[in-house]
A and B are shown apart, each in its own frame.
Chain A
Amino acid sequence: LAKTTQPISMDSYEGQEVNITCSHNNIATNDYITWYQQFPSQGPRFIIQGYKTKVTNEVASLFIPADRKSSTLSLPRVSLSDTAVYYCLVGDRNSGNTPLVFGKGTRLSVIA
């Protein structure tokens, strides 16, 4: 099961673009990359998922280089409400008995 490494914390001002990079050197061929956002005392909220290149939705973009050993979550023009912990996970839900493993996540603090 691929492990992930993320920065423990990041600070940003409101209105800036925030990029959080996750390293997953041992990612397997069938693994997908998924990002979750979690606010205190709430369940994680799915943000975005991808396999390669670039994925974009209404809240974020996910950039994955060709070697797939890392990925970058991009949050455009963050606001105070984006202050949360962001988790990067890699895994293959299709494979036998491999649950997703959450790391420590990145604590993003958005400052006014």
Chain B
Amino acid sequence: KAGVTQTPRYLIKTRGQQVTLSCSPISGHRSVSWYQQTPGQGLQFLFEYFSETQRNKGNFPGRFSGRQFSNSRSEMNVSTLELGDSALYLCASSLEPGLTTDTQYFGPGTRLTVL
């Protein structure tokens, strides 16, 4: 079974631009979560989507948004990019958050650099 895929793997943008990252979950997984990882802050939760609905949201400004499609694929968007948005953006998928032992599996990440 194919793992979680993220595209693109690397991205370079300039301040003020916007960016869209894509995540395809493991086949059959219906939940997708997004995380931001930076050397200073570590892994921080952005948001989670399940059945096309945002289930939970972390403490990030409104410039960070996401959505999930009917096939469970998810996208996240960052508008008005700032230098501090440079990070590794990770996507994780799981079967269903209602399962007691629901386990998240991570993709390889998208490395975003903002100049």
Binding site for B on A (CB under 8 A): 30, 32, 34, 36, 41-46, 49, 87, 92-94, 97-105
A32 to B92, CA, bound (A): 18
Q: In the complex, which range does the number of interface residues on chain B fall in?
A: 20 to 34
Q: Which 7 A-B pairs have the closest CB atoms?
A: A43-B106, A102-B43, A93-B102, A99-B45, A97-B56, A44-B106, A94-B100
What residue in chain A is nearest B4 (Cβ atoms)?
Answer: A43
Cross-chain contact A43 with B92 (CB below 8 angstroms): yes
Nearest residue (CB) in B for A87 is: B43
A100 touches B104 (CB 8 A): yes
Of A45, A93, A99, A105, which is within 8 A of B58 by CB? A99
Q: Please tell me which one of the listed residues B44, B45, B102, B106 contacts residue A94 in the complex, with CB atoms under 8 A apart.
A: B102
- Which residue of A has the minimal Cβ distance to B91? A43
Assess the B48–A99 pair: CB atoms within 8 A.
yes
In the bound complex, do residue A42 and residue B56 qualify as a contact, i.e. CB atoms below 8 Å apart?
no
Q: Contact flags (1/0) for B100-115 with A, using CB distance below 8 Å?
A: 1111111111010000
